[in-house]
Structures are given as structure tokens and as C-alpha cells.
A and B are shown apart, each in its own frame.
Chain A
Amino acid sequence: MPYTIPIGPYHPALEEAYKVNVRCVAETVQQVSVDVGFSFRAIELLAQRREWVPDVTLIERVCGICSNVHAMTFCRAAERIAGIEVPARAQYIRTIISELERLHSHLLWAGLAAEYMGFQTLFMEIYTLREQVMDLLETISGNRVNYGMNRIGGVNRDIADLNSVIATVQAMAAPIENDVVPAFMNNATARGRMSGVGPLTKEQAIEWGVVGPVARASGVATDVRVDHPYLAYQELGFKIVTRQEGDVRARVVVRALELLESIRIVAEALRNMPSGPLRAFEGMPDIPPGEAVALTEAPRGEVIYYVASDGGKTPARVKIRTPSFVNIPALEAMTIGQQLGDISLIQASVDPCLSCTDR
């Protein structure tokens, strides 16, 4: 006899609210639907009522994990409308903060994946590493989240002690390479728990339009840092990490290997940091009538902003498309035919952000 289990909107492990309705026969999932909107804040509408500068602060609150990416992408769209050229040093600082943000996001997610598997030792190891990134971000910006680094035309703060940041991130490479990556790739418990679970083929990944590590784990070699180079990524070089298996383990491995690439980019950017100003101008920005699209690779994947200006004090329209908005619906494809007991692990493998999705 088929039965339906509502999972959520409040979850014991996930701190954000959304609901997955799972219809099963015995232990096998036959149908899935997802409800979102429990944390809707109408940030797009609010952004159209605030002036350009306070909007940077507002939009940084779209997400508590990838806050920098949102503020930066909004600034990039506004800069594009106004034809503002951001100074090279500011481009490098934005790149460094973006990759530190990716490091702490991927480590947070990897730690949670370890916890969901019941692998507490690995969880502790990963969260110890994540704290080091959080400390770095706090040292640079004064904040553990919502760093306030971006402004239209550049950045608000410099990075003072470059050598100390290089030493800290480089010291993280060894434990990630020697402990974290092998634990997810080779450990029998991790392999047994994740291999073959929650599959998404390359064809399905394209059909559902998923992005970021979810797409790359299904063999879709897409990354905004390569496809639409921005900031300093073209100068620093970047290698897309992909896997072909498309299961939960592939999503974990892609993120784990991306940690090493982020460490390399941060160290390289710090070593080659150009001198010069932090911002294109002082004072308030003047954004003329126009419209622009800006794409950025957030930790969870492609972010796209459409911003329109009518020349007034506030934006005429701010449209925000977050990666979770396109990755969450694909849970349907990943879960049908899977075991009910694997649902929590499969949904975690998408790294869903409801704060981003609901905005």
C-alpha cells in the first residue's frame, strides 16, 4: 500500500525550513514534491525601495553562507550599468574573499555530510579546518559572516598581512589532501554509505538545469569562473573538477577536490596581488539608466543577477537567481527509486540553501 511521508518543513538536522513530500511503496520512493517559501523575505522588492548603497548591505543578507557572492554580484551588475572599472587590487581582494567563502562553505557542507554518515571523527576534523577559514575572514573583515567587503566600484577594506594569510591557507592543504579527500574517496564506510545513492545522470543534470558542484558531479563541465571569466580568475587560472558517477559520493568528492583548487587560487592571488587603489571613486555612486546581467560562481553554483536602473536613487529592478533555486527541484530526479532512509543524505548532497531560494 503506497503511503506519503511529509519531511519538514522543520528538520532535526537542517536549520532551514522546506518540505519534501515523499510517496513510497514499502521503503522505495515513488514520487517526490518539494515545497519552499517558508522563509520568504521579498528581498528583491525591498531592494527596489532602498538606495544603491544600503542595497549592498541588504543583498548581502540573501544568504548567511555565500553573503559575499551576492553583494559582489549586485555590485558587478551596477558597475556594468555605470561603466565603472574596478581597480585591479580590488578585483584580487574580491577573488580572495570569494574563494575563502567557498572554502568555508564546502568545509561546512563536508562536515555535515560526515555527520549525516555518522562519521563523527571526520566531522570534527573538517570543522576544525573550517574554523581556521572563519578566523581568517574575521581577521580580514571583522566579521565571521556578512563581511561588508564590497562596495559599488571596489572594496571597503584591504588585506593587511598577506604572508600570514598565505601561511594559514597553505597549512590547510595538507590535512585536506591527506585526510579529508581520502576519507571521502577511499574510506569503506563513506563509500558504502554514498556510492550509487541519489544518482543524477549527465542527461538528467542537463534536463533539470542544475549548476555548480551538483552539475559537475554528473559530468557537466560548467563553472562561471571558466565559462564567463570575471575578477582575477583568468589571470590566476582555474581547473574545473568533474566526476562522472553523478551520485552522492561524486558530489562530495567534487567539493573536496575544489577545496584544494580554492587554496591554490587564494595563495596565488595573495602572492601576485597588484598594488593600487581599492575603489574606483569615493562617495556615492551615480548609476545612470540601463540594465545589466552579471554571473558569478557561488559555492553552490551559478548565481545570476539582473539589475535595471532608471537613473533614480534606487534600482528599478533587482532579480536574483540563486543556485539552490535550480538545484533543489532536481531532488525529484535523484530520489525516485531510492530508499526512504537515504532521503536525508540525498537532499543534503545538493547543499540546499533555503535562505537563497526563498530570498
Chain B
Amino acid sequence: MEERDREMPRAELIAKLSAVPGAAPVEERRDGLWMLAPQLDVEAMAREMVAIGCRLVTMTGLAQKNGETTIIYHYVRGHEVINFKTVTRNGAIPSLAPMLRPASWIEREIHDFFAVNFVGHPNLVPLLRPASLKDGFFRDPEPGSTVPEKQ
């Protein structure tokens, strides 16, 4: 049986998540496991999640007023939903795209919306952003009432 198909007791899963460099205590919520870890080593986290057979389903960006961006990494493993919440440092965070194909488009999208620099992304070009808008237009409180067509 492959590692990803093995039923893993929640306690064992939490222990593995807690061992990632920069980890914080894991919260057990109704919608899954959550870790709020500003100092999380996201590359080490991604390697560990691959090793235990977790699938990166998406990432969420949330603008902070100080110019940084909260990044949430959402994973699924069997019946478990695992969420790591961390934050950019000087507007940047390491890219997971070199090791995880599904990370590529979502990092490009977050770059479009919040101008996050995903360091090491092999192709950080716009994915959805119309050419007439600047990176990070989700941060602007009034970015315009209409979105022009992509050129």
C-alpha cells in the first residue's frame, strides 16, 4: 500500500505537522486541522506533505494592512483537510512550483491579485490579471468599477 493510501491516525498526522521547522500548535477545528505559523518553513512543509501523501488543493492570499500577505496552504489527505497559515516576509515567500505542479497557477494568481513575489517560481507571469491593471489590484480599495478585457 502506498503511503498516501494508508489510514493515518490524527495524532500521528498532527505529530508530523508539528515537526516541520517553524511549526506552531495545530488547532482541531470543525473544518479540519489549522496551523497559524508566521515563521513556517514552507519548503520543508511542502516536502513533508508530499512525503506523507497530502495533496495541495489550493492556496489563499489575504492582504494585510502592513503590506504583507497572509498565505494559507490548503491540503487534503483522505478525510483530513489541513490548512497552514503563514505570512510573506517583505512581500516574498518561497515558491512551491518547482516541486509541486499544482502550485504554479495558484502562485501566479496570488501574484496577480496581491503582488506576492514567489521566489524561485519558474514562470511568474500574469495568469488572470488584465494587462491594464497592476499586480496587487486586490489590495487597492478602489481599483476601478470595471475590469478591462485582457489584451
Contacts and interface: CB of A to CB of B under 8 A. Distances in A.
A44 B31 CA distance: 21
A225 B55 CA distance: 17
B79 A227 contact: yes
Nearest to B102: A209
Interface stretch (B13-21, B57-65, B87-95): B57-65
A295 B80 CA distance: 11
Interface residues of A, number: 32
Contacts of B129: 37, 40
Contact of B78 (A209, A227, A326): A227
A306 interface: yes
Contact of A321 (B57, B138, B143, B147): B57
B40 interface: no
B56 interface: yes
Given A37-B127, A293-B83, A329 B101 contact: yes
A42 B147 contact: yes
A304 B57 contact: yes
A209 B62 contact: no
Q: Identify the interface centre among B100, B101, B126: most chain A CB within 10 Å of its CB.
A: B101
Q: Identify the interface centre among B58, B102, B149, B150: most chain A CB within 10 Å of its CB.
A: B58
A335 to B, nearest CB: 15
B55 A304 contact: no
A227 B102 contact: no
Contact of B55 (A41, A206, A325, A358): A206
Contacts of A44: 113, 138
B56 A36 contact: no
A36 B128 contact: yes
A38 B62 contact: no
A293 B32 contact: yes
Given A292-B31, A321-B57, A329 B105 contact: yes
A306 B102 contact: no
Nearest to A357: B128
Interface in B18-41: 30-32
28 contacts: A36-B128, A37-B126, A37-B127, A38-B149, A40-B129, A42-B147, A44-B113, A45-B138, A206-B4, A209-B57, A227-B79, A228-B79, A228-B81, A293-B31, A293-B74, A295-B81, A304-B74, A306-B74, A317-B60, A317-B62, A321-B58, A325-B58, A325-B105, A325-B106, A326-B57, A329-B102, A329-B105, A358-B128
Given A227-B79, A306-B60, A319-B58, 15 more contacts: A36-B127, A45-B138, A206-B4, A207-B101, A209-B101, A227-B76, A293-B81, A294-B31, A295-B81, A304-B57, A306-B72, A319-B60, A321-B58, A329-B104, A359-B128
